[in-house]
Amino acid sequence: MSTQPQPHRSTAELLGSVRAEVALRRDSEVREARDIVAWAGLNTVQESADAATISDGYVDSGVPIAGDGAPLVSEFALMELCAVLGRSTIAGRDHVGKVLETAYRLPSIWQAVLAGRVPVWRALRIADSTRLLPADAAAHVDRHLARFAATCTFAQVDRLVEEALARFDPTAAEQRRREAADGRRFDVHTHDARIEGTVGVEGILDTADALDLDAAISDRARELADLGCDASRGVRRSMAAGDLARGDQSLGLDTRSLVPHERGSTTKNRTTTTTSRRTVDLHVHLTDTALTTDGETIGRLGNTRSPVTAGQVRDWCGTPGATVIVRPVIDLTGHEPVEAYEIPDRHRRQVHLRDPHCAFPHCQRRATRCDLDHATPHAAGGSTCPCNLVPLCRSHHRAKTHSTWGYTVLDPGQYLWTSPHGHQYLVDHHGTRTLEHGLDRLDHRQTHRR
């Protein structure tokens, strides 16, 4: 490492230098990926006569390292390429497979990679999730991600892959669903209990059961806080799980009788044990006939943003004793301002459905755990209306309030952020897009701050 003193450079200069290095690295990765695809074209094995080596009766057969429609490459030639890449044969095979998956089965994304619009690493991450899909399902993913591969989240990619599998190979999708259901479990690792007095808990639950459990624990944790418990949210949630295990659910409890909790908090005096039936309060986007007709119609579960079949929803709603709540369709672009600063629950629900995550660039914290910021401050005349409410997690809310970070609402759910040194980012339901200097720039004075 050089010991020579480095010339002083400003923060803006250093940011520009880092950005230039990122561009150089991306160009190098594109050239490497292009060469790998060209190499595969020269080392394809379709039958024994094309094999590079036949020794002791062993045929250098083609290796299927990508999905249906990608070429079979020479096994021995692949070993050499992996060595050149500085990877083990297993790791190199995986990497080359993802490159070929992108080039041959995701052609629109591949063209975006070659044009520099999508980083190689993002394309390979998408390709990794499509390799087991049928060809038409992979084409479905490629078609829907062609414009948004550079900005979408990987959670969105995974959901689209699941949807494609359900649409184009419903038998395989149903088999996976049944296998997943058979894999449900809930483990309390009491055998790992130590002197600290804590144990780990983990499990895999049915989605509806998981939503019910999370809601019950969250409600009880908030109740403990209201009763004076000053522990952190995580600690209160763990205490709430214990309360639920003892049958001390919050419904039907006598709130007038209070006793000290053994860990120093204040809790209710439990005299009765109550049980509750499943309440189905799911935001599911389906047609009006999907639940009454045959066929595996695909919808989307608004609570988790994941795809879901109509059959699964029928199973949830058909649970004996279940209470089904039917809510009206919400216009996510609708305007219903109120004069008060406090935000009504109906507004929160609308914003959470419109913006499932924090609106700050690249942040993935769920909107249900975020503050709702008045884009135009309420004190400055801004209305309490979904069109003026933006979900921001606590740290990014502070950055927007107390630093020179700022954003402009272009449309409900679409935000233009400007950093303290003038870098701009476009955030919408497809993810975050970094804007180049001089493109689509808005006057920094137009950004909203509270």
For the chain, give the percent of residues with pLDDT over 90.
Answer: 22
DSSP for 330-341, written as a single string: P-TT----BSSS
Per-residue confidence (pLDDT) for residue 329, from 0 to 100: 56
How many other CB atoms are there within 10 angstroms of residue 311's CB atom?
17
Which burial class, exposed, middle or buried, applies to 415 when counting CB atoms under 10 A from its CB (0-12, 13-18, 19+)?
buried
Which burial class, exposed, middle or buried, applies to 449 when counting CB atoms under 10 A from its CB (0-12, 13-18, 19+)?
middle
CB within 8 Å of 32: residues ≥ 6 apart: 120
pLDDT (mean) for 214-230: 90
Lowest mean pLDDT among 209-223, 272-286, 422-436: 272-286
How many other CB atoms are there within 10 angstroms of residue 405's CB atom?
18
CB within 8 Å of 436: residues ≥ 6 apart: none
The Cα diameter of the chain in Å comes to 86
Per-residue confidence (pLDDT) for residue 442, from 0 to 100: 44
Q: Rounded to 5 degrees, what are φ and ψ at 391?
A: -75, 125
**SS3 call for 317:** helix
The answer on pLDDT for 439 being more than 90 is no
Q: Give Cα 437 distance to the centre of its chain.
A: 28
Per-residue confidence (pLDDT) for residue 45, from 0 to 100: 78
**SS3 call for 266:** strand
Q: Rounded to 5 degrees, what are φ and ψ at 320?
A: -55, 130
Which tokens sit at 269?
Answer: 């005096």
Return d(Cα 274, Cα 251) in angstroms, integer: 7
Global pTM reads: 0.58
DSSP for 183-250, written as a single string: T-EEEE-GGG--TT----EEEE--HHHHHHHHHHHHHHHHHHHHTT--S-HHHHHHHHHHHHHTT--S
pLDDT in tens, 157-169: 888 888 888 888 8
Per-residue confidence (pLDDT) for residue 139, from 0 to 100: 94
DSSP state of 325: P
pLDDT in tens, 76-94: 788 888 888 888 888 888 9
> Identity (one letter) of the amino acid at 341?
Y
pLDDT in tens, 240-293: 988 888 775 444 444 333 333 443 344 444 444 444 555 555 666 555 555 556
The answer on pLDDT for 222 being more than 60 is yes
Ranges of each domain in the chain:
17-179, 206-268, 279-324, 345-446
Q: Rounded to 5 degrees, what are φ and ψ at 258?
A: -120, 140
pLDDT in tens, 180-210: 888 888 898 877 766 667 888 999 988 878 8
Per-residue confidence (pLDDT) for residue 38, from 0 to 100: 95
Instruction: Please name the residue ranges forming H helices in 106-134.
Output: 107-114, 120-130
The answer on pLDDT for 49 being more than 80 is no
Tell which residue, 441, 408, 409, has the closest CA to residue 424.
441
For the chain, give the percent of residues with pLDDT over 70.
Answer: 72
Lowest mean pLDDT among 243-257, 328-342, 409-423, 430-444: 243-257
The overall average pLDDT reported for the chain is 78
| The pairing of beta strand 323-324 with beta strand 279-280 | parallel
Task: Give the model's confidence band at 47: pLDDT under 50 very low, under 70 low, under 90 confident, else very high.
Answer: low
H-helix or E-strand containing 74? strand 73-74
H-helix or E-strand containing 432? strand 431-435
Return d(Cα 140, Cα 138) in angstroms, integer: 5
Place of tokens 């989240």: 153
